[in-house]
Chains A and B, each alone.
Chain A
Amino acid sequence: MTPLLSVHQVVKRYARRTGWPRRARGWVHAVDDVTLEIWAGETVGLVGESGCGKSTLARLLVGLARPTAGEVRFRNQPLIAMSRTEARGFHRSVQMIFQSPLMSLNPRMRIKDIVAEPLRIHRLADGQRLRARVAGLLEEVGLEAVLSNRYPHELSGGQRQRVAIARALAVRPALIVCDEPVASLDLSVQMQILRLLIRLQDAHHMTYVFISHHLGLVGAIAHRVLVMYLGRIVEVGENPAIFQHPLHPYTQALIASVLQPASQQLSAPAAILGEPTSPLHIPSGCRFHPRCPKVESRCRLEDPALIPRTGGRLAACHFA
């Protein structure tokens, strides 16, 4: 069996251009040597703090960014080796939902045109059939028909995100990459959108990559969870096992930082964590060592590899 989408030792670095004259002075290693496989039908949760490279990885997955090194393959075919027709098919099969629906929806287009646009571009429907398909999509994501003539600014945040979902769904993709799809929404609306995503996944047998910095949300939707830190994947595990027995100290710290209704005390492990390290100055050895409670001299020198542990878990830590 081949994975739906796979990433092989991918690196993405951006030049940091500053000063005068403006030229590259240093590099930002946004994604640094990441390998992963995404299987049809699963939801992969990707968690990490801001600056850890999760959005860059999302852009690499959908082909919005080209890797500096390494390879992304869709159904075992490298993206860069695709012909125009094949690339078109790829872009139809892989869709993306962004964090801010207001910024990802064209403010000058009506809702019905926004949802119809991918169908027009991929020449999947026109005329009466197009209108019927758009109406069906809006109904499927729980939007009333009267909204189809409105503009994005006339809708609430939750409704806008439903429009973004309908647009992604229009071309019947195999994979949807959701980059912080609910971060800008109220808590109660967040849950509605998660339930909608899960219902659509069951109905259409889709695969999701769900990116968030919020472990609670990822735990509510993902089958498998990937934890990223400074451009690397540091732990991979099944949900909920990874939350119950986290191996990597960073995963443990992330879990400690999730507020639970029962917790009357702010937990101590999270308080010693400090600010995320800048991807401009990647520490030697294990990248997490400046913030790690278990740090020893070995961690400052040797970079731990992401290797299999018991129970199908992968973790990159000398002490896992």
Chain B
Amino acid sequence: MFNGLSVSSILLLMALGLAITFGLMGVINMAHGELMMLGSYTAYVMQNAFLRQFGDQGFSGYFAVALPVSFFVAGSVGLLLERTLIRRLYGRPLETLLATWGVSLILQQTMRQAFGANNVDVRSPQWLTGRWQVSAGLEFPHLRLFIIFFTAAAVALIYLLLFRTNVGLKIRAVTQNRDMSACLGVPTAKVDAYTFALGSGLAGVAGCILSLMGSVGPTTGQNYIVDAFMVVVLGGVGKLAGAIAGGLGIGECNTLFESFSTATMGKVIVFTLVILFLQWKPSGLFPSRNRSLD
């Protein structure tokens, strides 16, 4: 159960940015995984910088710096991407898919040339390496606890941003009815750009956190992308609550099936279930209602 929760929160973290760019804006960003990878490499660079600067003692602080920096790095790459490429392709999802796949290939190769083809490791800061002993035989690694709480906090923040602030109001207005918002004076192009940057920045943060879970390589991003899309599709495109439910569902199922078969078989079963589930509810757990056809 706890393991499932931990896997779920990782999935949710990965899917959170996608829930915004894909769910709200309808942009299929295949480079989303690569934006996560950028976040992971940011963590790696920060770690090395801190090691050089402060030695082994002070290096633990790097992570607090890496989080906002990775948000900024991935966010600005996302902003650039939106301004130059995705802007021209709104309303043509399949074309967006192919073009952003091209971007992902370029980002991968850039990272490969910058950091080498081999995976690099990011060491967890000391305050995350411990375990919390609840009772004999039951202990929670700090790292996993941290990820669960961080995800919860991130979801809460995004929720507040979308539903309790002026910016969030504009974002929702533009995604619901672009023409009407434009008529009422919302700068839609600007809102699009910042929404996309927000989603990309979240991908960077997710990557930064994920770097603690395993090593980072140029193709790391690719492994996440299908999972993240599945979470959003299962949950229902356009709903934040859907992404949360989707992440929880897939995470728990994954852990459950892995426990009585192998890891790959677990994944196979989960994907099959998702496809079968979409038979029953084609628009996911929390479908967004609208009357338009096509």
On whether the two chains bind one another, the answer is no
Could you tell me which A residues sit within 8 Å of B by CB distance? none
